[in-house]
């Protein structure tokens, strides 16, 4: 396989390889999944919405110049495998006062979009009409939020089994798919509920990753992502609490305490409130020199990136 003489190894070969590498059940599952797929075909579709919308068809980037087509695709990609009603598409693309020919306009936009993103040589369409709406049918190798959800699921399962290093690896792969604000180039979707849910999922996963990485003492690798997140979310108390602990963990106790004071002043000035219990407990623990990180791994949760409202 290393010499690329084996295109698609047999299941038995992959299982023996997994045993020789002492892979965990989750890592073994991923190895078998990738092995069954064989090489990535050029004639395929790749959609990315964890950042600006990006479309790759048959190995080449596709530029959708129509704002309406891009918004249409972005909205469908936010809920892959779930029919999106026609009136929801109309509201997102044309607003509260659509033209009288809106039904035909929607059909035209969908037809043109389908022609642009449909890979050559594929029998089934990735964009299908359903009862009263449309649905984007893709797998987790074609759409980044589905890959993100699979990797997060793996990370959580590894964490629950006590394999923290393996969990950290999957969390890092998942967070590595994020290129910026979801659909940052589509202002018409910035207030959409599905996009807001996706942003909340990123917050949750980042904090989960911080909890797991810190439990094994990987404070240094948490500094950059937590600093970046706190800068973008200056009132997010849970993120501040974790960054305070990370700073204390790398010997920057004074910086951690100053971060608390900055947050306290900001909350008082902007919201008229004091920091919540989580931040207060973290602050007191740093003052006492306590070991602060004892957050358990998360329990069973719904899959990330699937069936969002």
Hey, where are the domains in the chain? 1-39, 45-136, 191-288
Report whether 45 contacts 119 (CB < 8 A).
yes
| Among the four given CATH numbers 1.10.1670.10, 1.10.10.10, 3.40.50.10190, 1.10.10.1150, the one describing domain 45-136 | 1.10.10.10
- Cα radius of gyration rounded to whole Å, the chain: 23
pLDDT of residue 296: 58
Instruction: Categorize the per-residue pLDDT at 40 as very low, low, confident or very high, splitting at 50, 70 and 90.
Output: very low
* Between 34 and 82, residue with greater pLDDT: 82
- In this prediction, residues 9-33 reach a mean pLDDT of 55
The pLDDT assigned to 42 comes to: 37
Please state which of the ranges 58-67, 214-223, 293-302 shows the lowest mean pLDDT: 293-302
CB atoms within 10 A of CB 84: 20
Q: From CA 274, how far away is CA 102, in angstroms rounded?
A: 50
Q: How far apart are CA 292 and CA 20, in angstroms?
A: 37
Q: Tokens 């009136």 belong to which residue?
A: 87
Rounded to whole angstroms, the Cα distance separating 156 from 166 reads 10
Lowest mean per-residue pLDDT among 94-98, 151-155, 169-173, 244-248: 94-98
Of 105, 103, 44, 41, which Cα lies nearest the Cα of 69? Answer: 105
- Per-residue confidence at 39, pLDDT binned at 50, 70, 90? very low
For residue 50, pLDDT over 70 is answered with yes
Residue 261 contacts by C-beta under 8 Å, 6 or more apart in sequence? Answer: none
> With 90 as the cut, is the pLDDT of residue 199 above it?
yes
Confidence bin at 3 (pLDDT 50/70/90): very low
- Spatial distance between the Cα atoms of 64 and 72, rounded to a whole number of angstroms: 11
For 41, 75, 156, 223, 242, the CA distances from 238, given in Å and listed in that order, are 42, 30, 19, 15, 6
Look up residue 189 and give its DSSP letter: G
Instruction: Check residue 306 and give its pLDDT.
Output: 47
- Residue with token string 């890092």: 172
DSSP conformational letter for 96? T
289 — pLDDT class (breaks 50, 70, 90):
confident
Question: Does residue 207 surpass a pLDDT of 60?
Answer: yes
Q: What percent of the chain has pLDDT over 70?
A: 80
Say yes or no: domain 191-288 is CATH 1.25.40.10. yes
How far apart, in whole angstroms, are the C-alpha atoms of residue 108 and residue 96? 20
pLDDT of residue 240: 97
**pLDDT (tens digit, 9 = 90+) per residue, 153-190?**
999 999 999 999 999 999 999 999 999 899 999 998 99
Integer Cα distance of 270 and 13 in angstroms: 60
Binning pLDDT at 50, 70 and 90, where does residue 132 land?
confident
- Cα–chain center distance at 250: 28
Q: Tell me what pLDDT residue 59 has.
A: 86
């Amino acid at each position: 396989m290393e010499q690329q003489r084996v295109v698609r190894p047999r299941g038995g070969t992959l299982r023996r390889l997994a045993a020789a590498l002492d892979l965990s059940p989750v890592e073994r599952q991923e190895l078998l999944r990738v092995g069954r797929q064989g090489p990535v075909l050029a004639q395929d579709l790749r959609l990315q919405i964890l950042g600006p919308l990006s479309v790759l068809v048959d190995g080449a980037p596709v530029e959708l110049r129509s704002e309406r087509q891009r918004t249409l695709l972005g909205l469908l990609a936010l809920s892959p495998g779930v029919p999106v009603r026609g009136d929801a598409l109309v509201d997102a693309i044309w607003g509260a006062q659509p033209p009288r020919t809106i039904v035909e306009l929607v059909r035209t936009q969908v037809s043109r979009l389908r022609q642009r993103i449909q890979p050559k040589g594929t029998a089934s369409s990735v964009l299908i009409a359903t009862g009263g709406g449309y649905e984007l049918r893709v797998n987790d190798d074609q759409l980044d939020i589905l890959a993100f959800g699979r990797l997060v699921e793996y990370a959580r399962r590894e964490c629950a089994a006590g394999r923290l290093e393996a969990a950290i690896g999957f969390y890092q792969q998942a967070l590595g798919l994020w290129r910026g604000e979801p659909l940052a180039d589509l202002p018409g979707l910035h207030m959409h509920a599905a996009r807001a849910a996706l942003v909340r999922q990123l917050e949750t996963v980042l904090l989960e990753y911080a909890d797991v990485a810190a439990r094994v003492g990987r404070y240094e690798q948490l500094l950059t992502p937590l600093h970046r997140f706190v800068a973008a979310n200056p009132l997010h108390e849970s993120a501040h609490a974790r960054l305070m602990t990370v700073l204390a963990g790398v010997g920057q106790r004074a910086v951690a305490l100053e971060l608390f004071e900055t947050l306290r002043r900001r909350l008082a000035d902007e919201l008229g409130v004091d920091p919540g219990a989580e931040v207060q407990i973290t602050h007191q623990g740093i003052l006492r020199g306590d070991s602060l990180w004892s957050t358990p791994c998360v329990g069973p949760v719904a899959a990330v990136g699937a069936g969002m409202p």
